[in-house]
Amino acid sequence: MMSEHEQLLVRAVEGAGNAVLITDREGTTVWANAAMCRQSGYSLDELIGHTPRKLSSGQQSPQVYRQMWQTILAGKAWQGVLVERNKAGELYTVQQVISPLLSAEGAITHFLAIQHSNCSLGGEREEMHRLAFNDALTQLPNRALLLDLLRQEIADARNANQVFTLLFLDLDRFKQVNDRFGHLVGDKLLMAVAQRVLSTIRRTDVLGRLGGDEFIALLPQMAGKRVNRLTEKITSAICQPFEIDGHTLEVGISIGVSQFPEDGCSVEALVDAADKAMYEVKQRKRT
């Protein structure tokens, strides 16, 4: 809950030209102005309850954020240049100043972030980022970006006391396709598989390719029966024949599930749990 002074501050910056965001002491967004929503591409409802990591591009070193937190928790203002990513996936740079907001007793209650957008990153630098963080074949997030997004989701879920689910997907009989029809057909099959899985999940979910015929799906705020229904939907979609280069291809899929925080609270624990669950599913099919 913001104090009367802080609410007055909110009214003062509501129509400001610069993007403004307020978080609580733990870093969870409690308010943002219209300029921040326009700049980020997210609505106010999509920003509130999440940390500003939602806008992270993954281009800053952890040391930058450690120094930022050390400065503002000491009651001082921090300023610097950050590269962020909007909802559409575009990169842009901001000059940001973060200041602590204090209670009448002098305790830090909130943080005020004011951003001035410098420019969008285009051309060669944007292409370099795409190559570094997107799978060249499917254009899905690659392993590096997937793990970064998973770290962000863990932090957001922990702050909001929410659950989320991780799916580890591995194709059945993919090797036989490669061996019989060649890697070009196999690559086209992987692209088709990615599109079918994408058609089954929500826009807020994330699908990425770990490598080979392994994929990971990140499902924010989803658990229980909803996950079961989704895995059945994915399985049904993938088990339908694929028509590629005049060949009718039939593959299956094995899906392992892990849930935060029940199955782990770290990237490694959640991926490992889902991987083991997937392997058990595959083993049951072989017996």
* Known catalytic membership, residue 172: no
From 213, 245, 263, 272, the catalytic residue = 213
Distance between CA atoms of 120 and 5, rounded to whole angstroms? 34
Which of the residues are catalytic? 213
